[in-house]
Amino acid sequence: MCPAPVNNTDSRGFIIPIGGGEDREKEMQIHRKFVELSGGEDAFIVVIPTASQLESTGPDYNDIFRELGAGRVEYLPITNRADCDNPEFSAMIDEATGIFMTGGNQLRLSTILGGTLVAQKIRRQNAAGVPVAGTSAGASIMSEHMIAGGASNEAPAEDSVNLAPGMGLTNAVIIDQHFTQRNRLGRLLAASSYNPFLIGLGIDEDTAAFIRADNVFEVVGSGTVTVVDASELTHSSMWNAGSGEALSLLGLKMHVMGEGCRYDLTNHQAYPPREHAEFCSLSDLSDDE
């Protein structure tokens, strides 16, 4: 599934996968930047708490974004596929200047939203310039291919990761979350080996990748984003590995990127913070996109 097409007069909105466990009480750096990109006091942020089964999740995020100065915040209590046909919910997404998907279970999120009008509208709004953020499960579903589960704390193996269709806001990456905290490098390597075209993003807790319309992202938060680039893979044993057999993957490139680092997903190039002046800051971009 390719991202929704962009009109000639529009620029695609930011895609903001967050690794979960984000700071919700102190600096709230990630949420603050999302509110700014959504319009600040003029923002209308729609929260989709579907991945979570806790009734408090939607109201909690409403409070966070209001505290950070968003002009209007609403959450959509979508708990089944029939809810996705609610015309009131559709109208809110059409009006939104920012969309946020919470954490929980990514399979719950994909099986409820997948192929519905709500999912289509989220894709179209992002193509029209609206930033879409998601944390934990909400981050995983953003890519075309979604990591639905798999083993942590293990070497990459033939059956160490389970994939499912995602929302397709981007088809350039595959995303894993709670990355360092749950030691998920092995399953991200396995996921990347299925199709070396995809760049693997392993996102730590309280960390986000703010992906711009030009496919350059900046790391924001207290942790790191691990980039697995398999595009120059010289050998992979995935195609003939037996069940549970450890993989051989030769020629991989990996970057571990802290706050302020940038990565060009198109040209496969990493940049350190505060260098390479051709990449302007997020604040410089907020008015343009």
CATH code, domain carrying 63? 3.40.50.880
Would you name the residues annotated as active-site residues?
Answer: 136, 154, 178
274 lies in a domain? yes
Q: How many domains does the chain have?
A: 1
Overall average pLDDT of the 155-179 stretch: 94
Residue 154 domain boundaries? 15-286
10 lies in a domain? no
224 lies in a domain? yes
Give the bridge partners for 43, in sequence order.
none
pLDDT category, 276, cuts 50, 70, 90? low
- Pick the closest to residue 84 from 58, 128, 55, 50 (CA basis): 50
5 lies in a domain? no
What does the pLDDT look like over 133-164, one tens digit per residue? 999 999 999 999 999 999 898 899 888 899 99
Overall average pLDDT of the 255-264 stretch: 97
2 lies in a domain? no
- The pLDDT value given to residue 10: 75
9 lies in a domain? no
Between 45-59, 90-104, 184-198, 270-284, the lowest mean confidence (pLDDT) is in: 270-284
What does the pLDDT look like over 101-114, one tens digit per residue? 999 999 999 999 99
Between 86-95, 145-154, 194-203, 277-286, the lowest mean confidence (pLDDT) is in: 277-286
201 lies in a domain? yes
7 lies in a domain? no
Overall average pLDDT of the 182-189 stretch: 95
- How distant, in Å, are the alpha carbons of 5, 30, 124, 202, 261 from that of 227? 26, 19, 27, 7, 11
Q: What is the 3-state secondary structure (H, E, C) of 86-112?
A: CHHHHHHHHHCCEEEECCCCHHHHHHH
User: pLDDT > 90: what percent of the chain?
Assistant: 82
